Structure 1
Amino acid sequence: MDRTPEKDGEHVPTGVRSLYILEALARAGTPLTPTDINETLGLPKPTIHRLCKRLEHEGFLEKDLDGRRYLPGKRLRTVARDVLGFNRFLQARQAVLRRLSERVGETCNITLPEEGGMVYLERIETRWPLRVQLPVGSLVPFHCTASGKLYLSSLPPARRENLVRTLDLTAHAPNTITDPEELLTALEAVAQTEIGTDKEEFVEGMVAVAVPILDDSERLVATLAMHGPTQRMSLDDALALIDPLREAASELCGLMPADDADRGHGSAA
């Protein structure tokens, strides 16, 4: 953080100190211990411990698997998602989605990682009468969706494995991967191609592909996906449309509030 009034001898209200903690965590992009936060902000250690516990109690922070580090809680991620949908780039993102949907002829969406799965941030439906309808705000699993598998593949290997082993690998369709080892192997392949796929793993009769939307630091902040019924397209057909998806994802990188000009974005767990 460039500057905190605390360091300049100014009084900082408790509420603002809490915001500094949340901002430091969002900028770090990785779970932090209270000591890490202290090194960043220079606030008194007892104050940081007290505020972190309060923020955890209110749902803005939660503990990582090791029980020592904090990461954004469900409430903070919800705020980040709401701000993301409210910002001035909303119409521009929807225009990109609309052009992409018209070009590929299928439903396209943007999803964000959330606790327990991927949440639909924005969506443009195909005009075909036969389609799978999942409205904005829908939460879909990590392990059997193109976007979810792409997100999991973007995590550091150790964190990826830890998360996979905590997931409920429920079978949703004939091809759902329910074995952790098999899923981890599949995710290694996804990490190499940076393309998430779903071949009737989430919904029987549906295929999907997803590509990453990156921030300025090349971190995955969201995913761009398209899906369609197997009556109209195979997975190979969907993969043949990857270039238009990647082009649209590149446009969307500049429309996501991940820089200083749009500080409403927080890292998702």
Structure 2
Amino acid sequence: MSTASFDTRIIEGDTPAQRLLALLEVIAEKDQYFTLQSLVDETGLPKPTLHRMLQQLENSGMLQREADNRHYSKGSRLRRLAETLLLNDTVQGARHGVLAELVREVGESCNITALSGSEVLYLDRVETSAPLRFYLHPGSRVPAHCSASGKLFLAQMSASQRRRLLADATLEAFTRNTLTDIDALEAEIEQVKRDGYAFDDEEFLPGLLCIAVLAPNPTGVSNVGLAIQAPVMRMDKQRALDCLPALERAAAAIARINQGALPEPIAEPETSA
């Protein structure tokens, strides 16, 4: 009988390509060789399915078989992909530098976010060195209705767009401060529109205060938020507002980085009169 732990690493995806990528994510975390059976035990996938997936990855150069013909390791193509990504990911490096400088200036944890469906996705985060902190790593997701950045993303939408997005989403109460009434949330969003910034006042985690702004986008709607997060014992709303100028400067710097990363427009060919 298999001893697979089906809730340990679930390989999900709507297409075979997505499931292969999900399997690669599992493999990328390994620092040792692995076998087909070890992946079966880890993921709970049927052995024939995993065998087929490993063959595809091996044939593409993403994986390679070791000398004993049982163990697998990362292939040269996968290593080149990782190296090329790191060498050319100057946008992420530049944005992370802005984030780190903001943390040094305000002394609290800061993060960059984007809207993903009805959730806020943490793209990057730098933690404060202060002993009391809340750990929310890149890749974390928070419902938009109880996130400072989420309120800003929602505020860019029309009322009908917001209601359509939130119609089937439960406005879950994470704390006693969470806004769970759609009309109360709409009133908060109107305030956010006037202010240009938003708070999460212990709405997602008890004891956590957050203030956020959007990185300006000269061509329209922004999908990049920047936020400061701190325990309420160190930061109240007035202290957060004192940090707002630094937050806005950092957001403007990130906007310049994003704008500089856009490809040059292709010139239209001249036509003879």
Normalised by the size of structure 1, how large is the TM-score? 0.63
Aligned to 1:176: 178
Aligned to 1:219: 221
Q: Which structure has the greater CA radius of gyration?
A: 2
Aligned to 1:162: 164
Question: Which residue identity lines up with residue 188 of structure 1 in the other structure?
Answer: E
Q: Identify unmatched segments of 5+ residues in structure 1.
A: 1-56, 61-74, 76-82, 264-269
1:1-269 matches, within 5 Å, as: 87-256=89-258, 260-261=262-263
Cα distance in 2, alignment partners of residues 59 and 226 from structure 1 = 39
Cα distance in 1, alignment partners of residues 224 and 93 from structure 2 = 17
Cα distance in 1, alignment partners of residues 264 and 209 from structure 2 = 34
- Relative to 1, partners in 2 of residues 1:262 and 1:194: Cα closer, same or farther, differing over 3 Å? farther
Question: Which residue identity lines up with residue 111 of structure 1 in the other structure?
Answer: T
Q: Identify unmatched segments of 5+ residues in structure 2.
A: 1-13, 23-84, 266-273
Cα distance in 2, alignment partners of residues 216 and 59 from structure 1 = 38
- Relative to 1, partners in 2 of residues 1:130 and 1:260: Cα closer, same or farther, differing over 3 Å? closer
Cα distance in 1, alignment partners of residues 136 and 264 from structure 2 = 28
Conserved? CA contact 2:213–2:227, under 8 Å: yes
Q: Secondary structure at the match of 2:146?
A: coil
Conserved? CA contact 2:106–2:243, under 8 Å: yes
Percent of residue pairs identical: 33
- Relative to 1, partners in 2 of residues 1:222 and 1:258: Cα closer, same or farther, differing over 3 Å? farther
Shift of 1:164: 3.2
Cα distance in 2, alignment partners of residues 164 and 59 from structure 1 = 30
Aligned to 1:20: none
Cα distance in 1, alignment partners of residues 201 and 180 from structure 2 = 14
Cα distance in 2, alignment partners of residues 161 and 259 from structure 1 = 33
- Relative to 1, partners in 2 of residues 1:258 and 1:155: Cα closer, same or farther, differing over 3 Å? farther
Cα distance in 2, alignment partners of residues 226 and 59 from structure 1 = 39
Question: Which residue identity lines up with residue 161 of structure 1 in the other structure?
Answer: R
Q: Secondary structure at the match of 2:224?
A: strand
Cα distance in 2, alignment partners of residues 229 and 101 from structure 1 = 14
Shift of 1:157: 2.7
Calculate the aligned-residue CA RMSD, in Å: 2.5
Q: Across the two proteins, how many residue pairs are aligned to each other?
A: 184
Conserved? CA contact 1:206–1:230, under 8 Å: yes
CA deviation profile, 1:8-39 (whole Å, cap 9, x unmatched):
xxxxxxxxxxxxxxxxxxxxxxxxxxxxxxxx
Query: Which has the higher relative contact order, 1 or 2, with Cα contacts under 8 A spaced 6 or more apart?
Result: 1
- Relative to 1, partners in 2 of residues 1:122 and 1:262: Cα closer, same or farther, differing over 3 Å? farther
- Relative to 1, partners in 2 of residues 1:94 and 1:58: Cα closer, same or farther, differing over 3 Å? same
